[in-house]
Homo-oligomer: A and B are copies of this chain.
């Protein structure tokens, strides 16, 4: 049989994933999980795709702040907008949750869901990553695409559970991960339904309904799925509660954390990175609770899907 995880190097991590899937789907086995309860959850930023030097959605927000700046002259003297307009990447990287929310609200509200998603799609179509010079949707981790595919073949229900915006992720989840939009759990904004003489719309309001990060991920999973996951993938302190919740499932479980230790092919970061913080406390927890730490450098043979040949614009 062909290797279902060809982008993973041989070793204990790959074996743990293969064993988990085999054991939980073998009818009659002691670790069998019924199909309806096979729930797999994946953080996105830093787990399924590149999150450095900024979250992808944040690159979008930055470009959108610049686009909207002419209508907001006050932003030139008002943080955090000022730093964005002055391209101060280090400041933008260090923004706290409140400032991030402020930017998301300013750039993601006041339009219909449809209009917002069209804006995201237009942007994803042209924007490229500053280091890799590839579209963001191409900078997904090939090893994780293989795990998603293998879990799906074994009838797992697969959810993205991310701090990123739900409507943002829904614009590409089907195309990039083959994960349907209804299986995307993210930070969600409040909406307002409007009916103008029969023209109906959902308008994104400048308020958050809930923040899907840290303990919010557990709340999000409960809200959307109503079942405990059996396998969870994350990469940062924002995923810790989701992994705890998964491990409290009475059936067989597996918890994994991607460790970015590959400066050559991607990035190396951990406790000192504001984005995708992998604290020492988290590493201690992982050891204590038998969570698997995936070494990007050692466990992944390939990082990204092969580049598609670019269509020549001259032809």
Partner of A195, one of B210, B223, B226, B241: B241
Asked if B195 and A244 sit within 8 Å, CB to CB, the answer is: yes
Asked if A226 and B191 sit within 8 Å, CB to CB, the answer is: no
Copies of the polypeptide in the assembly: 2
Report the interface size class on chain A: 20 to 34
Asked if A200 and B170 sit within 8 Å, CB to CB, the answer is: no
With an 8 A cutoff between CB atoms, is A54 at the interface?
no
With an 8 A cutoff between CB atoms, is A161 at the interface?
no
A188/B248 contact (C-beta < 8 A), A193-B215, A210-B209 known: no
CA–CA, A193 and B245, complex, Å = 9
Contact flags A206-234 to B (C-beta < 8 A → 1, else 0): 00011000010011001111110000000
A223 proximity list for chain B (CB < 8 A): 166, 188, 191, 209
CB contact list, A214-265 vs B, under 8 A: 215, 218-219, 222-227, 241, 244-245, 248
CB distance from A289 to the nearest CB of B (A): 9
A195 proximity list for chain B (CB < 8 A): 241, 244
Asked if B226 and A202 sit within 8 Å, CB to CB, the answer is: no
A184/B219 contact (C-beta < 8 A), A200-B244, A241-B193, A244-B195 known: no
Some 7 contacts from A to B, beta carbons below 8 A apart, are A182-B225, A182-B226, A188-B223, A191-B219, A195-B241, A202-B219, A209-B209
Q: Which residue on chain B has the smallest CB distance to residue A188?
A: B223
With an 8 A cutoff between CB atoms, is A92 at the interface?
no
CB contact list, A160-182 vs B, under 8 A: 166-167, 170, 174, 180-182
With an 8 A cutoff between CB atoms, is A106 at the interface?
no
Asked if B181 and A227 sit within 8 Å, CB to CB, the answer is: yes
Contact flags A42-56 to B (C-beta < 8 A → 1, else 0): 000000000000000
CA–CA, A226 and B184, complex, Å = 9
Contacts A36-B174, A166-B226, A195-B241 aside, 14 further interface pairs with beta carbons under 8 A come to A113-B222, A166-B223, A170-B226, A181-B225, A181-B226, A184-B226, A193-B219, A193-B245, A195-B244, A200-B218, A200-B244, A200-B245, A202-B219, A209-B210
CB distance from A20 to the nearest CB of B (A): 21
Asked if B191 and A224 sit within 8 Å, CB to CB, the answer is: no
CA–CA, A222 and B182, complex, Å = 9
Q: Which residue on chain B has the smallest CB distance to residue A184?
A: B226
Asked if B180 and A36 sit within 8 Å, CB to CB, the answer is: yes
CA–CA, A224 and B166, complex, Å = 10
A193/B218 contact (C-beta < 8 A), A224-B182, A227-B181 known: yes
A224 proximity list for chain B (CB < 8 A): 182, 224
CB distance from A251 to the nearest CB of B (A): 15
CA–CA, A115 and B226, complex, Å = 14
Q: Which 8 A-B pairs have the closest CB atoms?
A: A193-B215, A181-B226, A193-B218, A191-B219, A200-B248, A182-B225, A170-B226, A200-B244
